[in-house]
Amino acid sequence: MIKIDKNEGWINLSTTNCSYIIKLFRNQYPLHFYWGKKIPTPGKREFPYMEPTRGNLVIPEPANDKIYIELLPLEYAYQSSGDYRPSSFNILDKHNNPVIETKIKEYSILNEKPNIPGLPCTWAKEGEAQTLKLVLTDSIKNLDIILYYAVIEKYDVIIRWCEIKNNGTQEFYIKRLMSLSMDMLNNNYQFLFLEGAWARERQICKEIIKPGLKQIGSIRGISSHQFNPFFAILDKNADEHKGSVYGFNLVYSGNFIAEVDCNYDKNLRLNLGINPWEFSWNLKPGASFYTPEGIMVYSDTGLNGMSRIFHRFYRERLSKSTWRQKMRPVLINNWEATYFNFNEDKLLKIAESAKQAGIELFVLDDGWFGERENDKTSLGDWFENKRKLPSGIGLFSKEIEKLDLSFGLWFEPEMISKESKLYKEHPDWCLHLPQRLRGEGRNQLVLDLCRKEIRDYIFKLISDILSNASISYIKWDMNRTLSHAGSIAYPDEPQGNIMYRYMLGVYELMFRLTSHFPDILFEGCAAGGGRMDPGILHYMPQFWISDNTDALSRLKIQYATSLVYPPIMMGAHVSDVPNHETGRYTDMEFRGLVASSGSLGYELDLNSISVIDIKNIRDQIVFYKKHRKIIQFGNFIRLLSPFENNTTAWMFITQDKKEALLFHFALLNEANLPPSLLKLIGLDEDSFYVEQRTGLNFSGKELIHRGFLITNKKQDFKAQYFHFKKKNLN
Ligand code: DGJ
């Protein structure tokens, strides 16, 4: 809900548990007053942050000798005006003169959350959202900067984005335009972000904020394996379970930047938006430019509280897919079982065993099209490889269906191989810079999806296949980052613009395909988790979070990914041992429980493993199906971090707290270890629970305050689960 006190210039954006308060100061500066636990609007008083005279600072208005712009906590920051912190925007006219002065022009409340043209965004049902539209204007340049703050009270989120509108007759160049900026007063905060690499995505990194500028981001054309477009600011003593945490996530899949600037007073300026690297957007008279949206979440119950808000909101209001709230099928994917080396017979044998094990969906991965015998050829030639699949995809999908399995197919729609019919016909359809090398990654080039005719072509090829076969799942892969980003359609544009246009093109293609085939479950993938972000998750409510299927590595990847994204969105597979990426052996139970913590799948040849493991897999699937609803739709709570302990533990709890699953993973064993008490979280204090496997009774208070005893088993990589049900006292 949004309340405006026009007389005193306060705007209070409040959700169920938090307030975000802005002060409109002297009709010029929207100042950041507060964001945190719910408080009332302050009432009549000046902004309590006017400094006594301090030397050597710039005064933007001589009449107001106490206003040093560099000390003001701004909602959206000027440039070139005496504020030397990283600005929210940088807009130049054609003589390179900047837009430097904006005044508050008007503000209003919309009773909805508008969509952002061309970009993925979260949404709200009628009556769920209000949006503050705060218009700043540079009257000399005739340019409006419109700040949007959508408030979705019941989900406890605030969503920010920005529009630049050119009302004048001259053109401008947008060099930098953040989705959100925020200034916070010194509180010895910590900065938490997710760093990584291929097969080691999203590792938690937490730093004490020190003076200077810290940036994370991507200029790879995708949000990247290296950094996720997410960060959190934590109170000094905040942790998983307590303290104030401020979470930020950008709904965008291309180049992004997140900045934390700490000045000499230890005050912070936060920025999140499109990366300004080689970005220069020509804003013509009459035109608007919109940033992607940034989601902001406040929690006073630590990181778990923040994640709970993100999870619920993303499960319910990020994607519009019909699969959003549908239970996900247990799948088998042939990639690690066969790689490129398969034929119909081999696949059908895997599918038959999969059916017997209780699997519901068979996914045919890379290698089924063109002349694709390895990763050097055929991307773009989306028609069957008849040597491998003489019946063609249509008939083959029917064969799979006869086994009472659904059928899924892999595509990599954004790519083109040099060795392909498509490249022979259209050598200029890839992104490239004139007269420069066409840099390849994984032996492939990137299609110029800035161009509509290329998107139309790919749409037609893929939709023909989807219309002529029985396909209920698509894995949309993307195996290389962008480089040499030039488009013959936009010969004068810098690489940052092309990468942005490329992203708009990808979104348009994703929108078209997902809305044309609304019953298909789309799973995103980018060489594993290289583009797992809310932008893609808007179109595809599931993501293959890493090519690393080693259960131990996965503990970390899934734990850290869950800071923002809910388990239902994480594709998690049991694969063979020794693991193909790490060479590690872990037992089937350990692999099974780790993968059962997400949307479960299998990625191994069921015909080449032991009878005992086949039986274990059957039992796992029975277990998963029984508990799938809690795992996919319950609250997820992290108890012990693999980044800090030799054990990991997490829980799934139904919304009504009647049922809970506790998963415990012991990593490296030591001799003579005592049992340990693990304090559970999120249960009902005033109820009693029965652990279903042992029949033991516990009060909720005991499990929460004393803990649950975990005994040590004599084994490395030992997984255990416990199932609690509320006791019916009647
Ligand atoms: C990368 C994906 O992450 C893998 O799962 C697999 O689909 C390969 N690409 C296929 O090329």
Least confident of 97-101, 489-493, 600-604, 658-662: 97-101
* Distance from C-alpha of 226 to C-alpha of 490, rounded to nearest angstrom: 29
Per-residue CA distances from 15 to 3, 123, 157, 422, 582 (Å): 11, 16, 7, 52, 45
Give ∠ CA 452-458-462 in degrees, rounded to 5: 145
Q: Going by DSSP bridges, is the β-strand pair 10-14/708-710 parallel, antiparallel, or unpaired?
A: unpaired
Q: How many CA atoms lie within 13 A of 511 on its CB side?
A: 12
Neighbours of 673 (CB within 10 A): 13
Residue with tokens 């388990």: 567
Token duo for residue 302: 């630590």
Q: Is 528 close to ligand 1, i.e. is its CB under 6 Å away?
A: yes
CB 604 within 8 Å of CB 574 = yes
* Distance from C-alpha of 429 to C-alpha of 444, rounded to nearest angstrom: 12
Q: Is the pLDDT of residue 66 over 80?
A: no
CB 75 within 8 Å of CB 30 = yes
**CB neighbour list of residue 18: distance below 8 Å, 6 or more residues apart:** 35, 36, 37, 38, 156, 158, 298
Q: Which pLDDT score is estimated for 384?
A: 85
Q: Is 547 close to ligand 1, i.e. is its CB under 6 Å away?
A: yes
Supply the DSSP string of 567-584, one letter for each residue. Answer: GGGEEEEEE-SS-TTT--
pLDDT tens track for 103-125: 999 999 999 999 999 999 999 99
Reading phi first (left if > 0) and then psi (alpha if -120 to 50, else beta), residue 18 is in beta
Q: Which pLDDT score is estimated for 101?
A: 83
Q: Is 581 close to ligand 1, i.e. is its CB under 6 Å away?
A: no
Q: Is the pLDDT of residue 64 over 80?
A: no
Q: Going by DSSP bridges, is the β-strand pair 288-290/542-544 parallel, antiparallel, or unpaired?
A: unpaired
* Distance from C-alpha of 534 to C-alpha of 122, rounded to nearest angstrom: 9
Least confident of 37-41, 77-81, 269-273, 417-421: 77-81
- Mean pLDDT for all residues in the chain: 96
**CB neighbour list of residue 453: distance below 8 Å, 6 or more residues apart:** none
Can you tell me which atom of ligand 1 is nearest the CA of 475?
Answer: 7
**CB neighbour list of residue 672: distance below 8 Å, 6 or more residues apart:** none
* Distance from C-alpha of 274 to C-alpha of 292, rounded to nearest angstrom: 8
- Residue 81 pLDDT class (50, 70, 90 cuts): confident
Chain centre distance of CA 645: 25
Per-residue CA distances from 424 to 373, 377, 456 (Å): 18, 12, 19
Q: Is 78 close to ligand 1, i.e. is its CB under 6 Å away?
A: no
Q: Which pLDDT score is estimated for 262?
A: 97
* Distance from C-alpha of 611 to C-alpha of 98, rounded to nearest angstrom: 71
Residue nearest to atom 1 of ligand 1 (CA): 527
Residue with tokens 């006292």: 729
Q: Is the pLDDT of residue 410 over 60?
A: yes
The 3-class SS string of 280-327 reads: CEEECCCCEEECCCEEEEEECEHHHHHHHHHHHHHHHHCCCCCCCCCC
Q: Is 152 close to ligand 1, i.e. is its CB under 6 Å away?
A: no
Q: Is 368 close to ligand 1, i.e. is its CB under 6 Å away?
A: no
Q: Which pLDDT score is estimated for 47?
A: 72
Q: Which pLDDT score is estimated for 458?
A: 98
* Distance from C-alpha of 663 to C-alpha of 634, rounded to nearest angstrom: 14
Q: Is 525 close to ligand 1, i.e. is its CB under 6 Å away?
A: yes
- Residue 51 pLDDT class (50, 70, 90 cuts): low
- Residue 138 pLDDT class (50, 70, 90 cuts): very high
Residue nearest to atom 9 of ligand 1 (CA): 527
Residue nearest to atom 11 of ligand 1 (CA): 366
- Residue 54 pLDDT class (50, 70, 90 cuts): confident
Q: Which pLDDT score is estimated for 27?
A: 84
Q: Is 201 close to ligand 1, i.e. is its CB under 6 Å away?
A: no
Q: Which pLDDT score is estimated for 729?
A: 57
Closest C-alpha among 696, 699, 638 to residue 664: 638
Q: Is the pLDDT of residue 82 over 80?
A: yes
* Distance from C-alpha of 668 to C-alpha of 715, rounded to nearest angstrom: 8
Element (H, E) at 475: strand 473-476
Residues designated as active site:
477, 547
pLDDT tens track for 610-620: 999 999 999 99
Q: How many CA atoms lie within 13 A of 584 on its CB side?
A: 18
What's the one-letter identity of residue 25? F
3-class SS of residue 159: strand
Residue nearest to atom 2 of ligand 1 (CA): 527
* Distance from C-alpha of 384 to C-alpha of 378, rounded to nearest angstrom: 11
How many A from CA of 549 to the centre of ligand 1? 12
Q: Is the pLDDT of residue 79 over 90?
A: no
Q: Output b/e per residue, 686-723; b: 16+ Cβ within 10 A.
A: ebbbbbeeeeeebbbebbbeeebebebeeebbbbbbbb
Q: Is 684 close to ligand 1, i.e. is its CB under 6 Å away?
A: no
How many A from CA of 591 to the centre of ligand 1? 20
How many A from CA of 547 to the centre of ligand 1? 7
Residues in the chain: 730
Residue nearest to atom 10 of ligand 1 (CA): 366
Element (H, E) at 334: none
Residue with tokens 């049900």: 725
Q: Which pLDDT score is estimated for 52?
A: 67
User: What average pLDDT does the segment 247-262 reach?
Assistant: 98
pLDDT tens track for 182-193: 999 988 999 999
Can you tell me which atom of ligand 1 is nearest the CA of 603?
Answer: 5
How many A from CA of 244 to the centre of ligand 1? 39
How much of the chain, in percent, has pLDDT values that exceed 70? Answer: 98
Q: Is 477 close to ligand 1, i.e. is its CB under 6 Å away?
A: yes
* Distance from C-alpha of 347 to C-alpha of 339, rounded to nearest angstrom: 11
Per-residue CA distances from 569 to 332, 424, 541, 650 (Å): 17, 38, 6, 17
Cα Rg of the chain, angstroms: 27
Can you tell me which atom of ligand 1 is nearest the CA of 442?
Answer: 11
How much of the chain, in percent, has pLDDT values that exceed 90? Answer: 92
Q: Is 342 close to ligand 1, i.e. is its CB under 6 Å away?
A: no
**CB neighbour list of residue 85: distance below 8 Å, 6 or more residues apart:** 70, 77, 183, 261, 263, 269
* Distance from C-alpha of 668 to C-alpha of 646, rounded to nearest angstrom: 7
Rounded to the nearest 10 degrees, the angle between the axes of helix 611-633 and helix 588-595 is 20
Reading phi first (left if > 0) and then psi (alpha if -120 to 50, else beta), residue 313 is in alpha
Rounded to the nearest 10 degrees, the angle between the axes of helix 344-357 and helix 392-402 is 30
Sign, Cα dihedral of 678, 683, 689, 691: negative
Closest C-alpha among 96, 228, 174, 116 to residue 532: 228
Q: Is the pLDDT of residue 248 over 60?
A: yes
User: What average pLDDT does the segment 226-233 reach?
Assistant: 98
Q: Among 374, 531, 544, say which to mutate for ligand 1: greatest number of ligand atoms within 8 Å of CB.
A: 544
pLDDT tens track for 320-358: 999 999 999 999 999 999 999 999 999 999 999 999 999
How many A from CA of 665 to the centre of ligand 1? 27
Closest C-alpha among 314, 295, 318, 289 to residue 504: 289
Q: How many CA atoms lie within 13 A of 628 on its CB side?
A: 16
Can you tell me which atom of ligand 1 is nearest the CA of 375?
Answer: 11
- Residue 59 pLDDT class (50, 70, 90 cuts): confident
Can you tell me which atom of ligand 1 is nearest the CA of 547?
Answer: 3
Q: Which pLDDT score is estimated for 441?
A: 95
CB 381 within 8 Å of CB 370 = yes
With 0-12 CB in 10 A as exposed, 13-18 as middle and 19+ as buried, what is 40?
A: exposed
